[in-house]
C-alpha cells in the first residue's frame, strides 16, 4: 500500500494529485490566466503565481482525496524538463514538505509522466508500445518497453508541433492560448482548402520550423491581395493547418509502427487533446489494425495525476532521491 502526493509545476499550471495504491483519488489544477495579457507564458510571473497557488492546491488535493498528510508514504514531483523558476517552486516545496514529514522523495521526468498517464485508467497499453508525445515544447516518438525503459526513436529537429499550432494562432491574431482555438475553428472549415510546405526529414524525425514559415509567408501574400483574408477564411485556414500538422505527425508514426512491427499505439501531451489528431488516429488505427490509447482530456495537458502515476511505479521500485536533488530545465530522457 502507498499513498503518494505529487506536485507538477513545470510551466504555468500548479497541480497536485494523490495516488492511493495506484489509483488517482485527487487531481487539482490551478491555471494561470495572467499570461493571456502577454500572448504567452512569462517565466518570472509563472514562478510567482506558483508560490501563491501551491499551498491552497495541496490543501484542496488532500481534502478531495480525504487523506491526512500524516497518511502519506512519499512525495513525488516534476524535476524537469520545464521552466527553471517554476520547477524550483515545486521542487523546493516538495523537499520541505517531505523533510517535515520524514517522507521519501521521488523525482519524475515530465515527459516520462505524460507517457505513464496511460496507466491511470483502462484500457492500458501492453509493452512494447509506441507513444507519440506532442506538446508545445516536445514532439517525440517513444518506444516504451516498460514503466522504466523508454527510448526516443524520433523527435523534432527544431520546433515542436504544439509550437506550430501556437505560432499559427499568433499569425491569425487569435488570443492566447491559441492552439485550442485553432482546433475549434478547424472543425468548421475545409481541411483541403490550402496547402503548406511538408518537411522532408529522414527516419522518424520531425521538423516544423519551415512549416511555420510557409504559413507566415502564405498569410502575408494573401493579405496583400485582400486585407480581410484572415477574417473571411479563418475556419478554412485553421482546418488546413491542422490537417497538415496531423498528417505530418501520423505519417511518421505509421512508418515507425510498420518498420518496428508494433500495433500498440498511444498519444500523449497537450496536443493529444486536439480533436483532429484524435479523429485521424482512430481512422488510421482502423486501417492499420492498431490498438490505440488516447488519454482523457484532463491527463493530456500538464497535470499532477501523471506525476503521481509515475511516482507510484517508482515507489514500487524504491527509486528515491535525496534532499540535495535540484530542478533541471533540461533533463535526459
198 plus 287 within the same structural domain: yes
Residue 199's domain is classified under what CATH number? 3.30.420.40
pLDDT-based confidence at residue 314 (cuts at 50, 70, 90): very high
Of 94, 167, 124, 150, which Cα lies nearest the Cα of 326? 94
Asked if 155 and 213 sit in the same domain, the reply is yes
Question: Band of the pLDDT at 31, cuts 50, 70, 90?
Answer: confident
Hey, which residues does 4 pair with through a beta bridge? 19, 74
Q: What is the mean pLDDT of the chain?
A: 94
The answer to the question of residue 152 being in a domain is yes
The answer to whether residue 331 is domain-embedded is: no
Regarding whether 304 and 289 lie in a shared domain, the answer is no
Q: Please report whether residue 120 resides in a domain.
A: no
Tens digit of pLDDT for each residue in 52-108?
A: 999 999 999 999 999 999 999 999 999 999 999 999 999 999 999 999 999 999 999
Q: Are residues 157 and 275 in the same domain?
A: yes
* In a shared domain, residues 92 and 70: yes
Do residue 197 and residue 309 come from a single domain? no
Q: Identify whether residues 183 and 211 lie together within a single domain.
A: yes
**Is residue 145 domain-shared with residue 258, that is, in the same domain?**
yes
pTM of the model: 0.95
Instruction: Examine the domain organization and report whether 129 and 253 are in the same domain.
Output: yes
Residue 40 in this model has a pLDDT that exceeds 90: no
Instruction: Tell me, yes or no, whether 97 and 133 share the same domain.
Output: no
For residue 27, give every residue at least 6 positions away whose Cβ sits within 8 Å of its Cβ, in sequence order, or none.
15, 17, 61, 298, 303, 304, 305, 308
Q: Is 109 inside any structural domain?
A: yes
Statement to judge: residues 96 and 110 lie in one domain: yes
Exposure string of 36-54, with b = 16+ CB inside 10 Å and e = fewer, is: eeebebbeebbbbbbbebb
Could you tell me if 92 and 139 lie in one domain? no
Do the domain assignments include residue 330? no
Condensed to tens digits (0 to 9), the pLDDT of residues 219-258 reads 999 999 999 999 999 999 999 999 999 999 999 999 999 9
- The count of structural domains within the chain is 2
* In a domain? residue 89: yes
Domain span at 140: 125-295
Amino acid at each position: 500500500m502507498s499513498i503518494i502526493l505529487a506536485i507538477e509545476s513545470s510551466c504555468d499550471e500548479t497541480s497536485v494529485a494523490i495516488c492511493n495504491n495506484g489509483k488517482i483519488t485527487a487531481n487539482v489544477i490551478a491555471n494561470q490566466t495572467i499570461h493571456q495579457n502577454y500572448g504567452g507564458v512569462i517565466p518570472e510571473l509563472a514562478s510567482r503565481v506558483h508560490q501563491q497557488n501551491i499551498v491552497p492546491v495541496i490543501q484542496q488535493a488532500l481534502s478531495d482525496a480525504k487523506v491526512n498528510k500524516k497518511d502519506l508514504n512519499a512525495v513525488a514531483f516534476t524535476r524537469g524538463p520545464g521552466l527553471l523558476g517554476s520547477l524550483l517552486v515545486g521542487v523546493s516545496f516538495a523537499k520541505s514538505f517531505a523533510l517535515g514529514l520524514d517522507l521519501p522523495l521521488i523525482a519524475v521526468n515530465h515527459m516520462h509522466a505524460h507517457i505513464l498517464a496511460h496507466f491511470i485508467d483502462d484500457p492500458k497499453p501492453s509493452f512494447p508500445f509506441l507513444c507519440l508525445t506532442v506538446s508545445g515544447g516536445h514532439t517525440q516518438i517513444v518506444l516504451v518497453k516498460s514503466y522504466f525503459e523508454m527510448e526516443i526513436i524520433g523527435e523534432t529537429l527544431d520546433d515542436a508541433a504544439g509550437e506550430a499550432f501556437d505560432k499559427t494562432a499568433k499569425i491569425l491574431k487569435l488570443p492566447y492560448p491559441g492552439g485550442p482555438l485553432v482546433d475549434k475553428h478547424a472543425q468548421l472549415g475545409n481541411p483541403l482548402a490550402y496547402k503548406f510546405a511538408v518537411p522532408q526529414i529522414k527516419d522518424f524525425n520531425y521538423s516544423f520550423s519551415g512549416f511555420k514559415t510557409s504559413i507566415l509567408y502564405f498569410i502575408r501574400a494573401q493579405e496583400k491581395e485582400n486585407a480581410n483574408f484572415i477574417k473571411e477564411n479563418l475556419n478554412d485556414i485553421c482546418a488546413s493547418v491542422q490537417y497538415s500538422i496531423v498528417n505530418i505527425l501520423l505519417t511518421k508514426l505509421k512508418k515507425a509502427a510498420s518498420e518496428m512491427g508494433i500495433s500498440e499505439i498511444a498519444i500523449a501531451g497537450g496536443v493529444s487533446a486536439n480533436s483532429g489528431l484524435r479523429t485521424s488516429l482512430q481512422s488510421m488505427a482502423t486501417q492499420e489494425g492498431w490498438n490505440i490509447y488516447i488519454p482523457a482530456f484532463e491527463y493530456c495537458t500538464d497535470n499532477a495525476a501523471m506525476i503521481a502515476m509515475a511516482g507510484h511505479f517508482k515507489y514500487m521500485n524504491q527509486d528515491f532521491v535525496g534532499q540535495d536533488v535540484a530542478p533541471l530545465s533540461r533533463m535526459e530522457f
